[in-house]
């Protein structure tokens, strides 16, 4: 019986490693395609969303740079900002993903404010709305799980 439990954990770890490996090779357009669940052999999951967010938020181990820089092209910034909003409204969102979205807004606050000022956009408030929406979705998921537990499924 314990063997079954440990085998399941090993499968989950290898699956997470596969997801992390595939996401690490994606550019911003491929990440968006993945988040929109349009890659046939690679289905979206909550772990995948977390890996995409980690790629955007955390520094790259090899280059010691973050995904977005202040001097990057504006189209890259806009695509990254839109990707964050798409992830925040996803039905596969998880609590670690919400925390990473909040971290994204803190880490890239200067880039977001500069972009908003230069292009008269409102991404800073959109991110706040997206975070609130993702928290709502998390509440709906929790309520569904509770109901499912009561029904014994």
Q: What is the pLDDT of residue 13?
A: 56
Q: What is the pLDDT of residue 54?
A: 94
Mean predicted confidence (pLDDT) in 122-142: 90
What is d(CA 62, CA 88) in angstroms, rounded to the nearest whole number?
A: 28
Number of folded domains that form the chain? 1
Q: How many CA atoms lie within 13 A of 142 on its CB side?
A: 8
Q: If pLDDT is split at 50, 70 and 90, which confidence band does 141 have?
A: confident
The domain in which residue 20 lies consists of 2-151
Q: If pLDDT is split at 50, 70 and 90, which confidence band does 61 have?
A: confident
Q: Specify whether the CB–CB gap between 130 and 89 falls below 8 A.
A: yes
148, burial (CB in 10 Å: exposed 0-12, middle 13-18, buried 19+): exposed
3-state helix, strand, coil in the chain (%, to 5): 75, 0, 25
pLDDT over 60 (residue 11): no
Q: What is the pLDDT of residue 28?
A: 94
Q: What is the pLDDT of residue 153?
A: 62
Mean predicted confidence (pLDDT) in 116-136: 91
Q: What is the pLDDT of residue 108?
A: 94
Give the pTM: 0.83
């Amino acid at each position: 019986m314990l063997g079954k439990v440990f085998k399941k954990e090993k499968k989950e770890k290898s699956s997470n490693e596969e997801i992390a490996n595939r996401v690490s090779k994606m550019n911003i357009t491929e990440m968006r395609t993945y988040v929109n669940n349009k890659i046939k052999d690679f289905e979206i999951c909550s772990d995948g969303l977390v890996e995409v967010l980690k790629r955007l938020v955390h520094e790259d181990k090899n280059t010691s740079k973050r995904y977005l820089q202040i001097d990057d092209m504006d189209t890259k910034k806009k695509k990254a900002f839109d990707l964050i909003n798409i992830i925040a409204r996803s039905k596969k969102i998880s609590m670690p993903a919400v925390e990473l979205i909040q971290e994204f807004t803190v880490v890239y606050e200067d880039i977001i404010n500069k972009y908003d000022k230069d292009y008269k956009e409102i991404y800073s408030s959109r991110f706040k709305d997206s975070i609130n929406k993702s928290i709502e979705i998390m509440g709906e998921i929790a309520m569904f799980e509770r109901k499912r537990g009561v029904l014994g499924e």
